[in-house]
Amino acid sequence: MKFTDGYWLLREGVTAAHPVEVLDVTATDGALEIHAPTQPIRHRGDLLKGPVVTISAHTPMPDVIGVTFTHFEGEQPRGPQFELHRADVASQVAYDDEYATLTSGSLSLRLSRTAPWRLDFLAGGRTLTSSGPKGMGIMRDTATGAHYLREQLGLGVGTSVYGLGERFGPLVKNGQVVDIWNADGGTATEQAYKNAPFYLTDAGYGVFVDHPGKVSFEVGSESVSRVQFSVESQQLTYYVIHGPTPKDILRKYTALTGRPALPPAWSFGLWLSTSFTTSYDEKTVTSFIEGMRQRELPLSVFHFDCFWMREFNWCDFRWDPRVFPDPEGMLGRLHERGLRVSVWINPYIAQRSPLFAEGKELGHLLRRPDGSVWQWDLWQPGMALVDFTSPAARDWYAGKLGALLDQGVDCFKTDFGERVPVDVAWSDGSDPERMHNYYTYLYNRTVFEVLRKHRGEGEAVVFARSATTGSQKFPVHWGGDCEATYESMAESLRGGLSLGLSGFGYWSHDIGGFEGTPTPALFKRWLAFGLLSSHSRLHGSSSYRVPWLFDEESVDVLRHFTRLKLSLMPYLYEAARTASAQGVPMMRAMVLEFPDDPGCAHLERQYMLGADLLVAPVFSDEGNVTYYCPAGTWTHFLTGETVTGPRWIREHHGFLSVPLLVRPGSVIPVGSVTDRPDYDHADGVTLRVFGLGRGARVTVPVGDVTFTVVREGDTLRASCSDPAAAWTLAAGQRTARAQAGTGFLSLELD
């Protein structure tokens, strides 16, 4: 939201009041309490006028400092609030005549006690960002009576801004206007399904605005040298998080807001869907699964989309008896094939659903202020929403899902959750504006918890579309409704990388695009991208996504890249563990791994898959691709050819190939199984060694086993933590193989 008319003037009808000096500052329990008038105090008469703002600086954990800016303190507390995790921190407060300073770990907030007004955030002897004169402010719209609090933090020369959720525009957010407001807008607009009021920079810090409702960001747009954020409220809290590296910032941000759960290994295999509006029954499903088996296409999860339930009954959580007369038997037959089963759900209850009358009678449906059930006809006729602010409604909804789990369903695709109205009254009194984004958190938490209860710790996984801060705790998330075009494939990747830079560890997308039917060439290019993503799903809107309906080469491409992904599970699952333990995503924007390489700052058509594999999807039928190679000699994983950076590379790739490069000095564990993801990843693992320098030592965790590879002169030695064993490979040899309690281990030098 913009408040100014150029640099000098305010927009018509807007008034502003800014802190201009410090009246007093006190230290209380390791925090600073500041009172700041919005006009100079020249004599006692100036003490009779306001506003005077109250500012609290506090420290929830090391290297994180929060600032709470308040105008009127009499406002009733309004929920919901983000669930934040706090840690003991030995903060320090220091005073002198010029400054008051609060220090948390390596981060300090320095308040200028003399005019002009200034807050500086410092680390390592340098200023990270600052709130200067006329940055923090009380902004009023006299026409509407709206009251906003605004902050502006300085944006240094060359600093790039990332994050703010899954956004489909340019990866670098500088120059963009971003409203944190969940919307069902596809992948081709400024709207987003997954909004997070957090941005990360490549200048050593990130900023989290602790407001679950609408936050309006002007990222170097209203003021080109500042990031502005504003909320319609009497109080605004934000946290500055010091890294110093982007990965460190994500570790600390997710320590504050929650780390992703670790999805089960089986979820990393290939998912196949019925698609959305296609016609299907058990015979159709069986034909797809049998077709995959006959063509030796490994399949891990089969997903039933909307029409597993009867039309106009979404959601009643009952199988349509006309096409699925024996759901328990069918689920059992699918399990006998070694498959897991996912079904589509959402939080909406159509008027025709038997659950509408039940939910209305029990008070579990969201109501208008007059007490009537909120309804509309978009998406499902007469639909209502489950009121997840009510514990009883959450238990009611979870009970319906529990019955499906008892039948044999393994997981849920949690669609929607964005179309949340504000002209309503929540059962717990939550503020409608603050609940709009937060609704998805309660929805997906409810589903995730019922899965964890029924399936056990480590087995819960959802396929969620909507999200906000904290939703990263309930993986996996997918990119929403993209089109069957290369442009949409690219915008989907931008969205996924942006989401990863917002604290989300795992991400997927509809291979081939959701809307429309891809050409065979596009489908094959998207297959390579999809199978080199965190999670991989074949799904569409009005057409099936089984590969033989495109061409026979699509079958070969799917087989090739599915087997490749499954063989990489020892590597990928350790990257997944890192995402869960540290908040560093599996699919990483290049800037996350190479923050000191200016060539990586704007890269958005390639990414790192884990720490050591570079992926550059091909966005053309012809197979021409250009990508950036960072410093060092990198090796094509599929061919063994090498390229040396830093420089741009142009290559041509057939459909069975894609730029997949290994970082120099890496050891990639490759599994011995290529038909399923959930196997003993250490049994028979091959360690492929790439560009390991003399004297280098690399540890490679694989499940409960840790391998150590050391290069001594021209000899490589590998040892295993349990049981003790060792392998030796001279530089002139290709492989060494020895028996160990974990099975066979091979060592390859590339």
Q: Same domain for 339 and 476?
A: yes
Whole-number average pLDDT of the chain: 95
Type of residue found at 9: L
Residue appearing with tokens 């002209």: 423
Task: Give the residues across from 604 on adjacent strands.
Answer: none
> In angstroms, rounded to a whole number, what is the distance separating the alpha carbons of residues 460 and 343?
14
Structural domain includes residue 193: no
* C-alpha pair distances (Å), 138 with each of 121, 177, 403: 21, 20, 51
Question: Using one digit for the tens of pLDDT, what is the confidence trace for 253-290?
Answer: 999 999 999 999 999 999 999 999 999 999 999 999 99
| 88 has a pLDDT exceeding 90 | no
| 748 has a pLDDT exceeding 70 | no
Question: Using one digit for the tens of pLDDT, what is the confidence trace for 481-525?
Answer: 999 999 999 999 999 999 999 999 999 999 999 999 999 999 999
CATH number for the domain harbouring residue 32: 2.60.40.1760
| 145 has a pLDDT exceeding 80 | yes
Q: Same domain for 687 and 652?
A: no
Contacting residues for 376 by C-beta, under 8 A, at least 6 apart:
382, 383
Asked which of 74-78, 329-333, 615-619 is least confident by mean pLDDT, the reply is 74-78
Q: Same domain for 228 and 294?
A: no
Taking Cα atoms as reference points, which of 461, 450, 444, 474 lies closest to residue 401?
450
Percent of all residues in the chain with a pLDDT value above 90, rounded to a whole number: 91
pLDDT of residue 742: 35
Taking Cα atoms as reference points, which of 148, 159, 152 lies closest to residue 218?
152
**Of the candidates 633, 662, 691, which is a domain's last residue?**
662
Q: Coil, strand or helix: which one is 486?
A: helix
DSSP 483: B
According to DSSP H, which parts of 506-616 are helical?
520-531, 552-567, 569-582, 590-593
Q: Same domain for 229 and 330?
A: no
pLDDT of residue 202: 97
Question: Using one digit for the tens of pLDDT, what is the confidence trace for 629-676?
Answer: 999 999 999 999 999 999 999 999 999 999 999 999 999 999 999 999
pLDDT of residue 29: 83
Type of residue found at 280: Y
Structural domain includes residue 269: yes
Higher pLDDT: 90 or 10? It is 10
Contacting residues for 452 by C-beta, under 8 A, at least 6 apart:
459, 460
Hey, how many other C-beta atoms are within 10 angstroms of the C-beta on 516? 17
> In angstroms, rounded to a whole number, what is the distance separating the alpha carbons of residues 174 and 410?
42
Q: Coil, strand or helix: which one is 395?
A: helix
| 738 has a pLDDT exceeding 80 | no
Give the pLDDT mean for 403-429: 98
Structural domain includes residue 4: no
CB 340 within 8 Å of CB 410: yes
pLDDT of residue 55: 97
Instruction: Give the containing element (helix H, strand E) for 101.
Output: strand 99-104
Residue appearing with tokens 């087989």: 559
Q: Same domain for 122 and 234?
A: yes
CATH number for the domain harbouring residue 616: 2.60.40.1180
Q: Coil, strand or helix: which one is 26?
A: strand
Higher pLDDT: 46 or 235? It is 235
Give the pLDDT mean for 103-109: 97
Taking Cα atoms as reference points, which of 736, 739, 740 lies closest to residue 748?
736
Split at pLDDT 50, 70, 90, the class of 717 is confident
DSSP 320-365: -TTT-S-HHHHHHHHHHTT-EEEEEE-SEE-TTSHHHHHHHHHT-B
Q: Same domain for 234 and 291?
A: no
Higher pLDDT: 35 or 115? It is 35
Give the pLDDT mean for 144-169: 98
Hey, how many other C-beta atoms are within 10 angstroms of the C-beta on 702? 24
Domain span at residue 122 reads 10-73+90-154+205-242
Give the pLDDT mean for 404-432: 98
Which long-range contacts link 96-101 to residues 24+ away (Cβ below 8 Å)?
100/22, 100/25, 100/27, 100/32, 100/34
Structural domain includes residue 167: no
Q: Same domain for 545 and 637?
A: no
CATH number for the domain harbouring residue 493: 3.20.20.80
Contacting residues for 252 by C-beta, under 8 A, at least 6 apart:
61, 63, 64, 241, 242, 243
Question: Using one digit for the tens of pLDDT, what is the confidence trace for 338-367?
Answer: 999 999 999 999 999 999 999 999 999 999
Q: For the chain, how many structural domains are there in total?
A: 4
The torsion angles phi and psi of 194, rounded to 5 degrees, stand at: -125, 105
What the block records as the tokens of 87 is: 């840690």
Q: Which residues are catalytic?
A: 415, 418, 481
Question: Using one digit for the tens of pLDDT, what is the confidence trace for 172-212?
Answer: 999 999 999 999 999 999 999 999 999 999 999 999 999 99
pLDDT of residue 743: 38
Taking Cα atoms as reference points, which of 275, 285, 278, 356 lies closest to residue 314?
356
Structural domain includes residue 629: yes
Q: Same domain for 334 and 464?
A: yes
> In angstroms, rounded to a whole number, what is the distance separating the alpha carbons of residues 78 and 432?
10
Taking Cα atoms as reference points, which of 454, 448, 455 lies closest to residue 477?
448
> In angstroms, rounded to a whole number, what is the distance separating the alpha carbons of residues 376 and 383?
6
Q: Same domain for 705 and 605?
A: no
| 730 has a pLDDT exceeding 80 | no
Contacting residues for 22 by C-beta, under 8 A, at least 6 apart:
34, 35, 36, 100, 111, 112, 113, 114, 117
| 391 has a pLDDT exceeding 90 | yes
Higher pLDDT: 733 or 46? It is 46
> In angstroms, rounded to a whole number, what is the distance separating the alpha carbons of residues 371 and 388?
17
Q: Coil, strand or helix: which one is 180?
A: strand
Q: Same domain for 642 and 739?
A: no
Q: Same domain for 218 and 305?
A: no
**How buried is residue 705: exposed, middle or buried, by Cβ count under 10 Å (0-12/13-18/19+)?**
buried
What the block records as the tokens of 565 is: 């992904």
CA 475 from chain centre, in angstroms, equals: 9
pLDDT of residue 739: 39
> In angstroms, rounded to a whole number, what is the distance separating the alpha carbons of residues 385 and 730?
65
Give the pLDDT mean for 609-617: 98
Q: Coil, strand or helix: which one is 745?
A: strand
Structural domain includes residue 670: no
Instruction: Give the containing element (helix H, strand E) for 70.
Output: strand 64-70
Structural domain includes residue 433: yes
Question: Residue length, the chain?
Answer: 750
Split at pLDDT 50, 70, 90, the class of 740 is very low
DSSP 117: P
Structural domain includes residue 164: no
Q: Same domain for 658 and 691?
A: no
Hey, how many other C-beta atoms are within 10 angstroms of the C-beta on 742? 22
